[in-house]
Amino acid sequence: MKAMLLAAGRGERFRPRTDTLPKALIPVDGEPLIERHLRRLAAAGVSEVVINLGWLGGRIEATLGNGDRFGLRIAYSREGWPALETGGGVLHALPLLDQAPFLLINSDVWSDYPLERLVAAATMLAPADLAYLLLVPNPEHHPQGDFGLCGERVVDAMPRWTFSGLSVQRPALFADCPGGAFPILPLWRRALAAGRVAGAPHRGRWCDVGTPQRLTALSAVLGDGLPVHPRNGQTRDSES
């Protein structure tokens, strides 16, 4: 099983800190989130991880190395700067991901969701489905949400949920994409309009670490052992 971690963003809202430190290496409760993802992916049975690199990508590569210390093999998809956004970044990395469904995770998302379930979703993805999205209750800053859920299908309907930053993608989702920089969201919307996106809710602990304030709040509740709730004001646009 392979996974891809999105780690190319600059983290504008963390500047000036991210002028010299990649956003993916900012520590949360003493550990960069991207390292937590790598440990959890290895424990869930993932053996190979692709990480896309953009802003200060060389520092990420130097820090994580080849993955041996995590029990993984890490390959790097080097985009340069400016980076290729979410869709363009995945398309650029596809030669490293083969043809099977793969996990796709935003590197700055914190969650207690068992990644073993995401691995299982990848292995059981219906042949016609192009993606599987994990959705969470809408945070206060994004009350309108992103997608609806009807059973195990992601739909364009109310009520809406917010995309969590954890998903499974089939490489065929990117067929006929021209390359260059583009977001992944329009591809999902086109696929769900055709009834080809599965999904599930997660009502557990989740936070998208998108601002210094939310980083501070998350570190505080983790340090105190308090629950992380999806209505604590997290941000969702994790590639910024």
Pairwise CA distance, residues 33 & 100, whole Å: 26
Provide the CB-side half-sphere exposure for 110 (13 A, CA).
26
Please tell me the pTM assigned to this model: 0.91
What integer pLDDT is reported at residue 227 of this predicted model? 52
Give every CB contact of residue 171 below 8 A, 6+ residues apart in sequence: 94, 97, 98, 99, 100, 101, 102
- Give me the CATH topology for the region 2-224: Spore Coat Polysaccharide Biosynthesis Protein SpsA; Chain A (3.90.550)
- DSSP letter for 229, please: -
Residue extents of the structural domains in the chain: 2-224
What integer pLDDT is reported at residue 226 of this predicted model? 52
pLDDT digits (tens, 9 = 90+) for 77-125: 999 999 999 999 999 999 999 899 999 999 989 999 999 999 999 999 9
CA distances from 182 to 57, 98, 109, 237 (A): 19, 21, 21, 14
Give every CB contact of residue 175 below 8 A, 6+ residues apart in sequence: none
CA distances from 91 to 34, 41, 157 (A): 21, 21, 28
The residues pairing with 160 across neighbouring beta strands, listed in sequence order, are: 148
What integer pLDDT is reported at residue 111 of this predicted model? 93
* Tokens, residue 148: 């609806």
Pairwise CA distance, residues 114 & 200, whole Å: 13
| Backbone angles phi and psi of 105, in degrees to 5 | -135, 130
Nearest to 196 by CA among 101, 130, 126, 119: 130
What integer pLDDT is reported at residue 234 of this predicted model? 39
What integer pLDDT is reported at residue 228 of this predicted model? 55
Q: Are residues 102 and 3 in contact, defined by beta-carbon separation less than 8 angstroms?
A: yes
Q: Is the peptide bond before 159 cis (omega within 30 degrees of 0)?
A: yes
Taking only the tens of pLDDT, the chain with its 240 residues reads 999 999 999 999 889 999 999 999 998 888 999 999 999 999 999 999 999 999 999 999 999 999 999 999 999 999 999 999 999 999 999 999 989 999 999 998 999 999 999 999 999 999 999 999 999 999 877 899 999 999 999 999 999 999 999 999 999 999 999 889 999 999 999 999 999 999 999 999 898 888 888 888 888 888 755 555 544 433 333 343
What integer pLDDT is reported at residue 239 of this predicted model? 40
